[in-house]
Amino acid sequence: MNGNMDPRRIQLAACWVALMLIYLLGDVLRLYEKGQAAALIDGKPMTQTQLMMAALLMLTPILLALGMVFLPQGIASWASLIGAAALLVINVFGIASYSGLFDRVLIGLSLALNVFTAVWAWQW
């Protein structure tokens, strides 16, 4: 590497960081809105498996942001494309479970960012 980083790497990493911040913002606002009820699913506390799955889902944009900087271009591009598509599908199916306006706006914004990221990665 000659010390100059491809601008597309930085742009894609920024997309993944922005997506993570959107997810975190939604979680923080949900805690303010629902308090301890935010950790309930169908009135029951989340299991360790559910919490682990949520953690893995939230780790995805973090790992992809790192990948955009450290992985070879071809792998980084495909990882970004697959990650964006997977999160898009997961959030499309999950959007109905969110009742708050702020949740729906943030999920909608994250979906738009997933589409943008996938297209941006595809064009790389």
Residue 2 lies in a domain: no
Would you state the structure tokens that stand for residue 40, as one six-digit string?
Answer: 């309930």
What is the CA angle 104-36-90, rounded to 5? 35
The residues, any chain, with a CB within 8 Å of residue 79's CB and separated by 6 or more, are 64, 67, 71
Asked whether the whole model's pTM tops 0.95, one would answer no
Would you state the structure tokens that stand for residue 28, as one six-digit string?
Answer: 């923080």
Residue 97 lies in a domain: yes
Q: Give residue 46's region: left, alpha or beta (phi > 0; psi -120 to 50).
A: beta
Residue 18 lies in a domain: yes
Residue 96 lies in a domain: yes
Contact 54, 46 (CB under 8 A): yes
* pLDDT attached to residue 37: 65
Q: What range does the domain containing 37 cover?
A: 7-123
Q: Which residue has the higher pLDDT, 95 or 114?
A: 114
Overall number of domains in the chain: 1
Residue 33 lies in a domain: yes
Q: What is the average per-residue pLDDT within 86-113?
A: 90
Would you state the structure tokens that stand for residue 16, as one six-digit string?
Answer: 């993944």
Residue 85 lies in a domain: yes
Please spell the DSSP secondary structure of 51-94, one letter per residue: HHHHHHHHHHHHHHHHHHHHS-HHHHHHHHHHHHHHHHHHHHHH
Is the pLDDT confidence value at 64 over 80?
Answer: yes
pLDDT tens figures, 10-51: 999 999 999 999 999 988 887 777 666 666 777 787 888 888
